[in-house]
Amino acid sequence: MRYFLDTEFNSFGGQLISIALVPEFGDREYYAVLPLPEDVHPWVVEHVIPYLASVPFGMETEQLPPEMVAREIADYLDDDSDPVIVADWPEDIAHFCSLLVTAPAEVAVFGSLRFEFVNSPGYSTAENSQVPHNALHDARALRSFVMDSLV
């Protein structure tokens, strides 16, 4: 199954702040907030931080250590024999992969993964998101865009 990925991070090349995976089918979504960097970029302070908790009731918004998020993602994907991670921004994939490295020469334990980069010129996930710059809502917007494109 495909899982639509979005991340929020501390400006270009900055530390990962939040991550979301939204499945192609079903409603079992994953969202996590990681510890905030010490020096948060002003744009991120204004456009990302205020919306970190803008997720459905009952979804975790407490800041979790990266190692725990990696284990949770591994558990989340564990039931799928052929998960495909779909993103519309290369840095989302880079952050996702970096997160899975839990220690030197160690990676979160799960099966194989494939990645699909969706180049979408002229389309902005954030502009089409119910809550722009919230990873969960942006991942939902990406899913809608890709699924609508198939019709």
Domains of the chain: which residue ranges? 2-149
Query: Contact at 8 Å (CB) between 66 and 106?
Result: no
- Overall fold of domain 2-149: Nucleotidyltransferase; domain 5 (3.30.420)
Share of the chain above pLDDT 70, in %: 99
- Res. 151 pLDDT band, cuts 50 70 90: low
In whole angstroms, give the CA distance from residue 14 to residue 135: 15
Contact 93, 117 (CB under 8 A): yes
Distances, alpha carbon 145 to alpha carbons 5, 29, 66, 135, in Å: 13, 17, 29, 15
User: Looking at residue 80, what is its pLDDT?
Assistant: 93
Please give the average per-residue pLDDT across 20-32, as a whole number: 95
What average pLDDT score do residues 91-103 get?
94
Distance CA(48)–CA(134), nearest Å, equals 7
Tens digit of pLDDT for each residue in 27-84? Answer: 899 999 999 999 999 999 999 999 999 998 778 789 999 999 999 999 999 989 999 9
Residue 41 and residue 10: Cα distance in Å, rounded?
Answer: 6
**Pseudo-torsion of CA 112, 116, 117, 123, nearest 10°?**
-130
| 8 vs 60, more confident | 8
Position 132 scores a pLDDT of 92
